A and B are shown apart, each in its own frame.
Chain A
Amino acid sequence: MDKILECKSLTKNYKGNMALSNVNLSIGKGKIVGLLGPNGSGKTTFLKIGAGLLTPTFGDIAIGGNFIGVETKKIVSYLPDHNFLTPSMTVEGMVTYFEDFYTDFSREKAESMLNALDIDKKAKIKTLSKGTQEKVELILVMSRKAELYLLDEPISGVDPATRDYILRTILSSFDGNATIIISTHLINDIEQILSDVIFINHGDIVLCDTADNIRSNTGKSIDAYFREVFRC
């Protein structure tokens, strides 16, 4: 099986508000997919459904051949768009917490990334800057040997130099068989690492293609093409 995620007629309604409407998608293994769309287009809703935090109103979604449940949670590593660290815990404490929770978590990998990014393991989370907290979160999520990583805005709150760091962290911990879906609107900063691109708007998939196909077909960067498609 070469598909990691497949969904059919996936729909999510929030009290009459259509967040996802009839989404049909099939995402192959080994891809780094950019889930791109303006604010409120359904990116976070889609990732939350994949992570098992929301149930669809209608339609099916399967990850690794299973419907969302215990089996998919084992193979999906999810980075939410909001802070999930416990402020009173230390960095090391969070690592242990993740190690307890996920059998595929590699403490060695987490510690080597923390060292590389010069993060004090004894520090309490609440003493860290927002950017450093984001780094810790990403390290925890990427230290799992998951089959699918769902990253919701992993680079939004950090400076450009740290963004490069984070992108390198994502790449160096990506093993080539796994799949990463990254939602963002900072397209320029990440488009180089993307192999595939999904444009989403008002809960509809507008486009789903390889990044290089979009560049050859339009002669434009993903960023420039996005600006054209979503011109206000």
Chain B
Amino acid sequence: MAWIFDSNAPIFKQIVDTISLKIIKGDYKTGQKLDSVRDLAVEAGVNPNTMQRALVSVEEMGLLETKRGDGRYITENTEIISKLKEDYIRKNTADFIKKMSEFGFSTPEIISFIEKTNINL
């Protein structure tokens, strides 16, 4: 099974997150046609009806657009994508700072750690 899920948490939300992230990260390009519900369900290893519900939810976020009779496309509205990307980065940074502050570090200390840390990406 290609998609890895945490089986301790609801799968539906994880599918929504996986698809949104693929769009935000650019794995799915703007304007690109999305695979059919069935193909995505088989790829992810989940019930097609669960996949269908997840796609509707991603669509409601504005990341997908349905063209009648021709399936779903990734939105070409890059504003929405940038906004969600910003939300995502802000949330993850906040989580990181919160975690570090539990060790008793102040924000300036955390920033200096970040500056001193070399990660080869």
A87 CB-CB contact with B under 8 Å: no
Instruction: Kindly list chain B residues whose C-beta atoms are within 8 Å of the C-beta of A174.
Output: 47-48
Q: Is B93 an interface residue (CB 8 A)?
A: no
Q: How many residues of B contact A (CB 8 A)?
A: 20
Chain A binding surface SS class? helix
CA distance A171 to B42 in the complex (A): 6
Contact status of A171 and B10, CB under 8 A, knowing A32-B47, A176-B49, A192-B1: no
Q: Is A215 within 8 A of B42, CB to CB?
A: no
**Contact present for B48 and A171 (CB under 8 Å):** yes
Q: How far is the CA of A1 from the CA of B18 in the complex (A)?
A: 33
Residues of A within 8 A of B9 (CB): 215-216, 219
Interface string of B24-39 (1 = CB under 8 A from A): 0000000000000110
Which residues of B from 12 to 69 have beta carbons under 8 Å from A? 12-13, 37-38, 41-42, 45-50, 52
- Could you tell me the distance in whole angstroms from the C-beta of B42 to the nearest C-beta in chain A? 5
A168 near B45 with CB under 8 A, answer: yes
Measured between alpha carbons, how far is A69 from B41 in the docked complex, in Å? 33
Bound form: Cα–Cα A174–B37 in Å: 12
Q: Evaluate contact between B1 and A164: CB separation under 8 angstroms.
A: yes
The CB with the most chain A CB atoms within 10 A, among B9, B38, B41, B48, is that of: B48
Q: By the criterion CB–CB under 8 Å, are B7 and A192 in contact?
A: yes
A192 close to B11 (CB less than 8 A): yes
Does any Cβ of B come within 8 Å of A220's Cβ? yes
Contact of B5 with A by CB under 8 A: yes
Q: What would 9 A/B residue contacts be, using CB atoms closer than 8 Å?
A: A31-B47, A164-B1, A171-B47, A176-B38, A192-B1, A213-B10, A215-B9, A215-B10, A224-B8
Known A176-B49, A192-B46; further 5 A-B contacts with Cβ < 8 A? A167-B45, A171-B45, A215-B7, A215-B11, A219-B9
